[in-house]
Amino acid sequence: MSHVTTTQPEGTPTWLDMGVPDLEAARRFYGDVLEWEFRDQGPEAGGYHLCLLRGEPVAGVMRGPDEGAAGIRWTVYFATDDCDGAVKRAADAGGGVVHQPMDVMELGRMAIVTDAVGAPLGLWQGRTHIGARLVNEPGALVWNELVTGDADEAREFYRNLFRYTTEPIAGELDYTLLRRPDGHEVGGIHGKPDTVFSYWLSYFEVDDVDSTVRTVQTSGGSLEGDPWNSPYGRMAHVRDPFGAEFRLVRPPDRMPDSV
């Protein structure tokens, strides 16, 4: 469990949000699956809702694409000390700019860019809103990885953007750990040659993967394949009622002996 009380170091995944066609359906689903509660930030924030875990903000949802729209996904925001400078580095490294830097009231400064392989990501320069206050516990964000067909290009981009060091994982998978300059792991790059569209995939910790999968299904979501065990815990790949995909994980040090 981590209770975050200050802005995260440069390059740390610090927030995520998503536009959905039906806010009430999103509230029901994520309330059931991750035990989130929700707080409407009001008309001055465009109806943006904070997702709360034990009263602390962990993500955000807003009214977004219409029903049936393709490509509804969680957007991962990375902490930066200089949003404008990070946008310039992203563009210089071969990325694109979706939304130019802008102030979000007194909360912080944000931008949306694409990386060199086309995956969107957010940049967040926190002020009064530092990002997710809880991470690495049930109901909260625990990991993020970029899924891409061009891992080499992606590795080079993120080394330039955040000064990450990259560490390949031995084995059959093309998987690279991303580390901040201080050595802290912040995510991964999963190279899959058959991937058409690159995207960031988020993992949420849960107490019981199989039970949570059943809740996903009874709450209008779906399961992609079967849950599996890995050296990093028991996992499942799921989608919410709008098609947005994410993964559930129970870390290995919390797995029961029977699994």
Residue that the structure tokens 């993500």 belong to: 59
Asked if residue 259 belongs to a domain, the reply is no
Whether residue 158 sits in one domain with residue 95: no
Do you know the residue count of the chain? 259
State which of 134, 161, 179 marks the end of a domain. Answer: 134
Residue 43 lies in a domain: yes
Sort 79 into a burial class: Cβ within 10 Å, 0-12 / 13-18 / 19+: buried
Say whether both 89 and 115 belong to one domain: yes
The CATH number for 146's domain is 3.10.180.10
Do 120 and 17 lie in a common domain?
yes
pLDDT at 67: 56
Q: Would residue 176 count as lying in a domain?
A: yes
18 found inside a domain: yes
117 with 155, same domain?
Answer: no
Spatial separation of the C-alpha atoms in residues 97 and 183, rounded to whole Å? 28
CB atoms within 10 A of CB 137: 17
| Beta carbons of 73 and 199 less than 8 angstroms apart | yes
| pLDDT at residue 256 in the model | 40
Are residues 128 and 65 both part of a single domain? Answer: yes
Q: What is the pLDDT of residue 70?
A: 59
Domain range holding 142? 136-254
102 and 220 share one domain: no
Same domain, 36 and 101: yes
Nearest 5°: phi and psi at 31? -65, -40
Q: Identify whether residues 11 and 128 lie together within a single domain.
A: yes
Using the 3D structure, point to which of 134, 166, 184 is the last residue of a domain.
134
Q: How far apart are the first and last CA of the chain?
A: 22
**Rounded to whole angstroms, how far apart are CA atoms 129 and 31?**
22
Rounded to whole angstroms, the Cα distance separating 123 from 174 reads: 26
Pick the last residue of a domain from 72, 102, 134: 134
Collect all residues with Cβ–Cβ distance below 8 Å to 22 and sequence separation of at least 6: 67, 241, 242
pLDDT at res. 64: 84
Counted domains in the chain: 2
Q: Could you identify the residue written with the tokens 């910790």?
A: 205
* Same domain flag for 175 and 128: no
CB-CB contact of 77 with 14 (8 Å):
yes
Same domain, 109 and 221: no
Alpha helices in 59-208 (DSSP H): 83-92, 151-162
For residue 83, give the 3-state DSSP assignment: helix
The predicted pLDDT at position 257 comes to 35
Give the residues of the chain that fall short of pLDDT 70. 1, 66-70, 254-259
The pLDDT value given to residue 255:
42
Is there a single domain that holds both residue 171 and residue 119?
A: no
Give residue 1's pLDDT.
57
Q: CB neighbours (10 Å) of residue 56? A: 14
Q: Determine the pLDDT at residue 176.
A: 98
For residues 221 and 240, the answer to whether their CB atoms sit within 8 Å is yes
Rg (CA), the chain: 17
Q: Which helix (H) or strand (E) holds 23?
A: helix 23-34
